[in-house]
Amino acid sequence: MIDKSALRILVLDDESFMLKLLARMLANLGFTQVTTCDNGRGALEGIDCPNSRPDLILLDLNMPEMDGVEFVRHLVERQYVGSLILVSGEDERMLQTAEKLVQAHKISVLGHLCKPVKPEQLSMLLELWTAPCLGESRIAKKTYGADEVRAAIANGELVNYYQPKVELATGKVDGVESLVRWRHPQDGMVFPDQFVGVAEEHGLIDELTRTVVDEAFAQAKTWQDNGLQLRVALNISMDNLATLAFADHIIAAALAAGITPDGIVLEVTESRLMKSLSAPLEILTRLCLKRFSLSIDDFGTGHSSLSQLRDIPFNELKVDQGFVHGAADNVTLRAICCASLSLAQQMGMKTVAEGVEDQADWDFLRSTSCDLAQGYFIAKPMSAAEIPGWIKAWEASIETLMKAPGER
Q: Which is nearer to Mg ion, 54 or 375 (CB)?
A: 375
Q: Which is nearer to ligand C2E, 90 or 99 (CB)?
A: 99
Using CB under 5 A as the criterion, what x/- string covers residues 98-117 for binding Mg ion? --------------------
Q: Which is nearer to Mg ion, 86 or 365 (CB)?
A: 365
Q: Which is nearer to ligand C2E, 40 or 175 (CB)?
A: 175
Least distance in angstroms from the C-beta of 235 to ligand C2E: 4
Q: Which is nearer to ligand C2E, 60 or 267 (CB)?
A: 267
Q: Which is nearer to Mg ion, 87 or 296 (CB)?
A: 296
The window from 163-171, 190-198, 286-294, 298-306 that contacts Mg ion (CB under 5 A) reads 298-306
**Three-class secondary structure assignment of the chain:** CCCCCCCCEEEECCCHHHHHHHHHHHHHCCCCCEEEECCHHHHHHHHHCHHHCCCEEEEECCCCCCCHHHHHHHHHHCCCCCEEEEEECCCHHHHHHHHHHHHHCCCEEEEEEECCCCHHHHHHHHHCCCCCCCCHHHCCCCCCCHHHHHHHHHCCCEEEEEEEEEECCCCCEEEEEEEEEEEECCCEEECHHHCHHHHHHCCCHHHHHHHHHHHHHHHHHHHHHCCCCCEEEEEEEHHHHHCCHHHHHHHHHHHHHCCCHHHEEEEEECCCCCCCCHHHHHHHHHHHHCCCEEEEEEECCCCCCHHHHHHCCCCEEEECHHHCCCHHHCHHHHHHHHHHHHHHHHCCCEEEECCCCCHHHHHHHHCCCCCEECCCCCCCCEEHHHHHHHHHHHHHHHHHHCCCHHHC
Least distance in angstroms from the C-beta of 316 to ligand C2E: 12
316 is a contact residue toward Mg ion (CB under 5 A): no
270 is a contact residue toward Mg ion (CB under 5 A): no
267 is a contact residue toward Mg ion (CB under 5 A): yes
355 interacts with, out of ligand C2E, Mg ion, none, CB within 5 to 8 A per kind: ligand C2E
Among 60, 174, 270, 297, binds Mg ion (CB under 5 A): 297
Q: Which is nearer to ligand C2E, 32 or 103 (CB)?
A: 103
357 interacts with, out of ligand C2E, Mg ion, none, CB within 5 to 8 A per kind: ligand C2E
381 interacts with, out of Mg ion, ligand C2E, none, CB within 5 to 8 A per kind: ligand C2E
Least distance in angstroms from the C-beta of 235 to Mg ion: 5
- Using CB under 6 A as the criterion, which residues of the chain lie in contact with ligand C2E when the complex forms? 163, 179-180, 191-193, 196, 209, 212, 235, 237, 267, 269, 297-298, 321, 354-357, 375-376, 381
* Positions in the binding site for Mg ion (CB under 5 A): 235, 267, 297-298, 354
